[in-house]
Amino acid sequence: MLIRFDPFREFDRLTEQLASTATRVPRAFPMDAYRRGDQFIVEFDLPGVEPASIDLTVENNVMTVRSERRFDPREGDEVLVAERPHGTYTRQLFLADTLDSENVQANYEHGVLTLTIPVAEAAKPRRVQVGGGQDAQRIEPQTTGGAEAIPAGQPVSTGEEAAPTGAS
């Protein structure tokens, strides 16, 4: 049997309603984000949300997840307790340019929305081939007099050679 009236619970509920901005501003929902190989995985807790109410958009590297959880009692229902949160929920993520926002995948299962965001091809580590050959040049450190590239095989002057003097 449910107790219809608990004055302390009603006082707590009223205080929560007055202090809450739930009716004016959408609330955020918890998330986890982590990298797995060449993908970023983001998981949002959205229990009791209809998949059709989830709106996922990406614009200018900003991903917005918006959802609505409703409680609509039927005609003739006598609501005894309504503690579960409902309303509009929203969360924004700022995606780096290194992520491929064109190929985001979304899956909603067991009250968890899972987003898979691949790393962009241009941001993946890659090996760079270093070439060389007959026209290779050696680069010397710069000095106050300036440094120039000297073709390979040419002698390098260090500037420490003795200059001829006229006195013996």
Phi, psi of 32 (to 5 degrees): -125, 145
pTM: 0.58
The string of pLDDT tens digits covering residues 36-74 is: 988 999 999 998 889 999 999 999 888 999 998 888 888
In a domain, 83, yes or no: yes
Boundaries of domain holding 30: 25-72+79-123
In a domain, 85, yes or no: yes
User: Residue 110 maps to which CATH number?
Assistant: 2.60.40.790
DSSP 7-40: HHHHHHHHHHHHH--TTTSPBP--EEEEEETTEE
